[in-house]
Chains A and B, each alone.
Chain A
Amino acid sequence: MATVSVRQALKSFGTTRILHGVDVEISDGEFVVLVGPSGCGKSTLLRMIAGLENISGGEIAIDGRVVNNVPPKDRDIAMVFQNYALYPHMTVRQNMAFSMKLAKAPPQVMEEEVQRAAKILGLDALLDRYPRQLSGGQRQRVAMGRAIVRHPQVFLFDEPLSNLDAKLRVQMRSEIRELQQRLGTTTIYVTHDQIEAMTMADQIVVMNGGRIEQAGAPLALYDKPANLFVAGFIGSPAMNLLPGEVTPQGFRTQGGALLPLPPGAPPHAATYGIRPEHMSLSDDGVEGTIVLVEPTGSETQVTMRLGETVVTGAFRERVQGRPGDKLRVLPDLGLVHLFGPDGARLPG
């Protein structure tokens, strides 16, 4: 168990700069999720922490020790790869025991460790199989088993669930989280799926284009996104972000809709943000035209047009309307997010 600090980390491939000074502080036993769109540099950062990529600038410390020049095997970390990277010519048992075999552990210790990990992961019956003979979820578990037996200071996961089907993904999500809580090992988990990030993390680090947009607890990011990127990235369905300007009557969007503003709204607000689930149907709301109604059972998602502006609402009520019908919606004024012209969140 250990802390991990990334300070002003830079990374370039040739002349292309991929990471532009990244800072992350991870405390002991924390589950941190790096999330961001594809290609933003999450894997690169993770691989730098693992030691698989060199560090072009800044420093990375594990448990207080700067590891910039420490080879991967001496960093005391274990990594689960997106494609699992199981050794195809070794059985599950041999895969899990490989690191101990290299460290010349006595055979009975190896067997004990493997049995213990297999029990935790429910792999007891599969120890003599080859990776080819396992399902995706089982391979995923073996990859985790291989990490567990090493008792590392830090677990690294690189999109470990992206090759699984939706149902298994949800199941493995909670299994990984549960396992991490049981072992208490500091964990860095990379994903592009913000739902995974929200459900698993103690701390979410949102990355975009090689920079960190915001870091914090999941609900803090949801409640107070620091900028337009985080506002649009975190939350599903995504927040409505409506460019426009503040007028005495309210916020006038570029599409021509007039939305109510909370009292004391800063006059230079340039974007109005409201989450679909923070709108309600109300007779004194803004009139809109239904474009699409998508009932999910527990709620109804309605895409509608206010003036020329398209917004999405999610309502508990069942909406009976059809495309073209009118309806009135009211944003919850306490939960409106306002952003300045530079995209940063405005206080209030």
Chain B
Amino acid sequence: MSATTAAPTWTKMRPKQGALSRLFDWKPFLAFVCLLPAVGLLMTFLTYPLGLGVWLAFTDTTIGRSGIFVGLENFIWLADDPIFWNAVFYSVFYTGVATIGKFALGLWLALLLNQHLPMKSLLRAIILLPWIVPTVLSAIAFWWIYDPQFSIISYVFVDVLGWRDTNIDFINTAWPARWSLIAANIWRGIPFVAISLLAGLQTISPSLYEAALLDGASAWQRFRYITFPMLLPILAIVMTFSIIFTFTDFQLVYAITRGGPVNSTHLLATLAFQRGIPGGQLGEGAAIAVSMIPFLVFATLFSYFGLARRKWQQGEGND
């Protein structure tokens, strides 16, 4: 026997795969399994209520009585309903004016906060307050502010400054009520816009402004040619969200005016609730809710195609 023996030959062998293991290696199956929990959740909590809502819109269900399929009857009925059209008008008006207000003020605030200010982080935290407070709470605050007798604004103008003799009418006639609600919505929406846009502003490299300064740009030109175009992508996303939230707003209006006076401040969401739950006409309420869908789809498409990713953000060649 020699001292050194030949090393035993050893070839690496792949262990045999079991059937189950092979199944899990099969991409389509694996993808299906991985998606299952998410799909399940979405189906239960999103698709089912949405589907049910859409189905209800085509029935004459009322509370306590399951209805039958009535086709487009609810919609035909709504088409002749001036209160519905008033709600459509006010929803669009409310969304439009509030969005413009929120973005004008929010952008202005974001630009201010992007400067070097003392106690910058404290200011930023304070700015967020209106948004952190639960909507119902701030709605109640506004309800109080807009109160015909106890309004603090009236108090200031009448008793402190003496500029007026009578209290201001905020929510007792149609147009003042509409504007008052819009003001409340703007107040509540500014923080979200300002903080999101501030995040966008902070991604713009300061050296771009320096380069523009040397290129001879004035403050307005720096905003017009640098800040604004570079902010556009994030502006688009924030605006889409803001439009959707504003259009589907419910709490502020319901808590302050409940759609009144004389249905003049109903949004589609409050009207749908009013008709469906207190009014008991589930089918009709659902139809009003469903009629919001086209507006929302439009808002999403607008941002997707109109404002979203620009060519300059993409890395690939363009030729």
Tell me the A residues contacting B by CB distance below 8 Å. Answer: 50-52, 71-73, 77-79, 81, 83, 85, 87-90, 98-99, 102-103, 128-133, 146, 150
Residues of A within 8 A of B210 (CB): 52, 79, 81, 85
Instruction: Say whether, besides A85-B207, A85-B210, A98 and B215 are in contact (CB < 8 Å).
Output: yes
B215 close to A90 (CB less than 8 A): no
B200 to chain A: closest CB distance in Å? 13
Q: Assess whether B21 is interfacial by the CB under 8 Å rule.
A: no
From B211, B216, B316, B319, A81 is in contact (CB under 8 Å) with B211
Say how far A218's CB is from chain B's closest CB, in angstroms: 29
Contact (Cβ within 8 A) B214 A87: no
Q: Which of B282-319 contact A (CB under 8 A)?
A: 310-319
Stretch at the interface among B144-152, B153-161, B222-230, B268-276: B222-230
Cα distance A270–B264 when bound, in Å? 94
Interface membership of B213, Cβ < 8 A: yes
Contacts of B4 in A (CB 8 A): none
The distance in angstroms between the C-alpha atoms of A83 and B206, with both chains bound, is 11
In the complex, what distance in Å separates the CA atom of A72 from the CA atom of B213?
A: 7
Q: A87-B208, A87-B226, A88-B312 are in contact. List 16 more A-B contacts (CB 8 A).
A: A51-B213, A52-B210, A52-B214, A77-B214, A79-B214, A81-B207, A81-B211, A85-B208, A87-B211, A89-B312, A98-B212, A98-B215, A102-B217, A103-B216, A128-B318, A133-B316
Say if the beta carbon of B66 comes within 8 Å of chain A.
Answer: no
CA gap between A60 and B212 in the complex, in Å = 22
B221: interface (CB < 8 Å): yes
Taking CB as reference atom, which chain A residue is nearest B204? A88
Nearest CB to that of A83 among chain B residues?
A: B207
- The DSSP consensus for interface residues of chain B is helix
**What distance in Å separates the Cβ of A110 from its nearest Cβ neighbour in chain B?**
13
CA distance A200 to B317 in the complex (A): 34
A85-B205, A85-B207, A102-B221 are contacts. A50–B312 as well, Cβ < 8 Å? no
Are A99 and B215 in touch, CB under 8 angstroms? yes
Q: How far is it, in angstroms, between the C-alpha of A331 and the C-alpha of B310 when the chains are bound? A: 65
From A71, A73, A132, give the contact of B215 (CB < 8 A). Answer: A73
List, in ascending order, chain B residues with CB within 8 A of A132's CB. Answer: 312-315
User: Which residues from B are CB-within-8-Å of A83?
Assistant: 205, 207
In this complex, what residue of A is CB-closest to B316?
A133
Closest to B232 in A: A89
Residue of B nearest to A98 (CB): B215
Interface size, chain B (Cβ < 8 Å): 26
Question: Which B residues are CB-close (under 8 A) to A89?
Answer: 229-230, 310, 312
Known: A81-B207, A87-B208, A89-B310. A52 touches B315 (CB 8 A): no
Task: Report B57-92 residues with CB < 8 Å from chain A CB.
Answer: none
B205 to chain A minimum Cβ distance, whole angstroms, is: 7
- Supply 12 A–B pairs (Cβ within 8 Å), ascending by A: A79-B214, A83-B205, A85-B210, A89-B312, A99-B215, A99-B216, A102-B216, A102-B217, A129-B318, A132-B313, A133-B315, A150-B215
Residue of A nearest to B230 (CB): A89
Considering the chains assembled together, what is the distance between the CA atoms of A131 and B212 in angstroms?
Answer: 16
Residues of A within 8 A of B319 (CB): 128-129
Residues of A within 8 A of B221 (CB): 102
B201 shortest CB reach to chain A, Å: 15
Q: How far is the CA of A83 from the CA of B217 in the complex (A)?
A: 20
How many Å from the CB of A178 to the closest CB on chain B? 24
* Contacts A81-B207, A83-B205, A89-B229; A52 near B213 (Cβ below 8 A): yes
In the complex with contacts A85-B205, A102-B221, A130-B311, A79-B317 CB distance below 8 A: no
Complex: how many Å from CA A50 to CA B319? Answer: 37
Q: How far, in whole Å, are A72 and B212 apart by their CA atoms in the complex?
A: 10
Partner of B318, one of A50, A73, A90, A133: A133
Contacts of A103 in B (CB 8 A): 216
Contacts of A71 in B (CB 8 A): 213
A73–B207 CB distance below 8 A: no
Give, as a whole number of angstroms, the nearest-CB distance from B194 to chain A: 23
- C-alpha spacing A50/B318, complex, angstroms: 35
Q: Which B residue sits closest to A129, measured CB to CB?
A: B318
- Measured between beta carbons, the chain A residues less than 8 angstroms from B315 are 132-133
Residue on A nearest B207 in the bound complex, by CB: A85
Measured between C-beta atoms, what is the minimum distance from A137 to chain B in Å? 17
User: In the assembled complex, which residues on chain A have CB atoms less than 8 Å from the CB atom of B226?
Assistant: 87
A-facing mask of B182-212, CB < 8 A → 1, else 0? 0000000000000000000000010110111
Question: In the complex the two chains form, is B215's CB within 8 Å of A130's CB?
Answer: no
Within 8 Å by CB of B213, from A73, A128, A146, lies: A73
Alpha-carbon distance A284/B294, docked complex (angstroms):
97
A133 vs B315: C-alpha distance when bound (angstroms):
6
Contact for A50 among B214, B217, B230, CB less than 8 A: B214
The residue among B208, B313, B314 with the most chain A CB atoms within 10 A of its own CB is B208
Interface centre among A50, A51, A89, by most chain B C-beta atoms within 10 angstroms, is: A89
Decide if A73 touches B311 in the complex (CB within 8 Å).
no
* Nearest B residue to A47, CB-CB: B210
CB distance from B96 to the nearest CB of A (A): 28
Give residues 205-264 of B contacting A (CB, 8 Å): 205, 207-208, 210-217, 221, 225-226, 229-230
- Give the chain A neighbours of B229 by CB distance below 8 A: 89
Residues of A within 8 A of B310 (CB): 89
Which of chain A's residues have a CB closer than 8 A to the CB of B316? 133
Distance A224 CA – B207 CA, assembled complex (angstroms): 38
A150 to B210, CA, bound (A): 16
Instruction: Report B-chain residues with C-beta under 8 Å of the C-beta of A88.
Output: 230, 312-313
**Who on chain B is nearest to A82 by CB?**
B207
**Interfacial chain B residues near A73, Cβ < 8 Å:** 213-217
Interface pair A72/B217, CB less than 8 Å apart: no
Choose among A77, A98, A128, A146 the residue that contacts B225 (Cβ–Cβ < 8 A).
Answer: A98
CB contact between B214 and one of A78, A128, A131 (< 8 Å): that residue: A78
